A and B are shown apart, each in its own frame.
Chain A
Amino acid sequence: MTSVSPPAPATTLPAPLPAHRAGFAGLMLAEWTKIRSVRSTVWTLIIFAVVSLGLTGLLTWLTLSALNNGRRRASAGGIITDPVNFILGTGLGLGQLAIAVLGVLVITSEYSTGAIRSSLLAVPRRYPVMLAKALVFAVLVIVVGEIVAFASFFIGQALVNGHVVTLHGVQAGHVISVNHTITVGLSQPGVTRAVVGSGLYLTVLGLFALAIGGLIRHTAGAITAVIGMVLVIFPLAGLLPANWGAHVHAYLPTVAGQLITADKPTGGQLLSPWQGFGVFCAWTALLLAGAIVLLQRRDA
């Protein structure tokens, strides 16, 4: 408990500066103050960076060691056939959950603490709060996300480049050994787009989570919903039967959104990387619009 200095006598306050309209820039400044002034933001972003970079380095190194020792499991194959996708998929694949959690928290923490009432008293038209919040959060995630995506790539690149793998095959009754040197670089087709795309994907994922948080308004519920969708429901939809199942799966938010993070298309891919990203953006815009409609209607 900190001590309080004795209350000042009630004196006339100097009047505030002459009227100066804050406008939307003021709201963005306010949202930036909000987001930077709670520890959960800093911690979540640190966890995101540490998990993403650490896992990228660790899993790449472990997989290469396994290959060196002649152990070659199916999961290790990716590092040979599509090393860029392997590098960007491992660490960021788990790190993305931190971004999803932060996206939920920036809105649900206002509801759980009651700070939303202060926010809405200051901005009774309400929807500008959500727009400013989404915009400020998007800028934050795109900056941090791109830095971490490029750093992940460079860590992976440093580990895999020049690595020689001996591949064994059987051809015409003879066992043939071929030495394959793994090389990745930003100049290879699709690679720069995949790295930049990873940061973009994380940004839209953060906004997707923010929208879900705005709709559900409860931290635990919204986090469960977002992570459940990203890790379980959407991937499982890939098991849907027949052609229609494949179409449904391809258009699911994060399934479509992740296409932009891959440098090479996979077989039978229904959408191009940018189309997939567009589908993800459309889903997110729709959910944000829904969150705004409910914000306008519901009692705070």
Chain B
Amino acid sequence: MIEAQDLTKRYGDKLAVDHLSFKVEPGRVTGFLGPNGAGKSTTMRLILGLDRPNTGTATIDGRRYAELAQPLRTVGALLEAKAMHPGRSARNHLLFLAETQGLPSRRVDEVLDLVGLRDVARHRVRGYSLGMSQRVGIAAAMLGDPSVLLLDEPVNGLDPEGILWIRNLMKHLASERRTIFVSSHLMNEMAVTADHLIVIGKGKLIAESSTQEFIERSSEKSVLVRSPDAEALAGLIAAEGGKAIPQDPAEGRAAALSVTGLDAPRIGEIAAANRIVLHELAPQLGSLEEAFMEMTADSVEYGGDTPAVPQETAASTTSPGSSQ
């Protein structure tokens, strides 16, 4: 388990992490979500003892990282920034790490097999693609068969096949009761990978909940109803406790209502009971990415002018997690 308590990190007069507290439980993938510059990488560096917090503590299974005798056997980490000498081969990079932990060199070959880099392991890292470098980083993280894994933007630079691979790897490792803490700035990626979400913005905790809860809460649920008798239907919906907002009528089509407070089946039942014809009955889900952007809108570090979202896109039906 990873526990952050009241973590604050200041670089000069810039506050990167602001009194941040959270827990990362074992047995599930915990997503660490936030826009660029939100303080995700800094938080991970504080947990790993690379940077020193101004206030607060971060512990792994109750101990500070620096107190771990053979840290790679407890914690594996993939950092966002490169942490390898480009002139050294992947094998030698992993070998020296293994030697610091008293691990046998055959363990290096095992993790190279795991990430599928055995054939190129004796080449210098300089010639590797971004995806291959990521794999070396993952191999390094897995070297000590750790019970806790911190992965900072692991899908960066990976092709779709690689993304799928790492997603499955993380789920598999979580199923073995390991603690998996993975950062991303992509909501949709986290929606399909993480079981639990910690959302930060400008170094502060914005939300913490299960992914399912997050999706349900942040996708505003409304139902689009189209009927030639929209006015009468609006009255019945209001009587049932729902809220119906008339939509701009489309040419040649029946009037439309945007209904909140009642779900689609209930609206259908009301219409049937009152013999009202329906032309359309469509549940609307806001996209998860939109919800995430809305949630973190106030805390985007490097905001440009957001181009106006075309009406069509904003109203389009998106089921959570389906978009990739």
Binding site for B on A (CB under 8 A): 1-17, 19-23, 26-27, 29-31, 33-34, 37-40, 109-110, 113-125, 297, 299-300
Contacts and interface: CB of A to CB of B under 8 A. Distances in A.
B138 to A, nearest CB: 10
A2 B127 contact: yes
Given A7-B162, A114-B82, A123 B100 contact: yes
B69 A21 contact: yes
B93 A118 contact: yes
Given A7-B115, A22-B99, A114 B73 contact: no
B278 interface: no
Contacts of B120: 2-4
A23 B101 CA distance: 8
A33 B96 contact: yes
Nearest to A33: B96
A13 to B, nearest CB: 6
Contact of B97 (A6, A30, A116): A30
Contact of B99 (A16, A19, A29): A29
A109 B84 CA distance: 10
By secondary structure, the A interface counts as: loop
12 contacts: A7-B162, A8-B114, A21-B70, A26-B101, A26-B102, A37-B89, A37-B96, A113-B87, A115-B85, A117-B81, A123-B100, A299-B51
B92 interface: yes
Interface stretch (B29-37, B103-111, B209-217): B103-111
Contacts of A40: 87
Contact of A5 (B77, B83, B87, B118): B118
Nearest to A9: B168
B84 A10 contact: no
Nearest to A38: B87
Nearest to B79: A117
Contact of B72 (A2, A29, A122): A122
A1 B127 contact: yes
B135 interface: yes
Interface stretch (B140-148, B252-260, B292-300): B140-148
How large, as a class, is the contact surface on chain B? 35 or more
Interface of B: 45, 48-52, 65-66, 68-73, 77, 79, 81-89, 92-93, 95-97, 99-104, 107, 110-111, 113-120, 123, 127-129, 131-132, 135, 140, 142, 144-145, 161-162, 165, 168-169, 172-173, 176
Given A27-B100, A38-B88, A8 B116 contact: yes
A33 B89 contact: no
Contacts of B110: 13-14
B116 A113 contact: no
B71 A10 contact: no
B312 to A, nearest CB: 38
A49 B111 CA distance: 39
Shortest beta-carbon contacts, A-B, top 4: A22-B102, A37-B92, A30-B99, A117-B83
Given A7-B161, A16-B144, A118-B140, A299 B116 contact: no
A4 B168 contact: no
A13 B51 contact: no
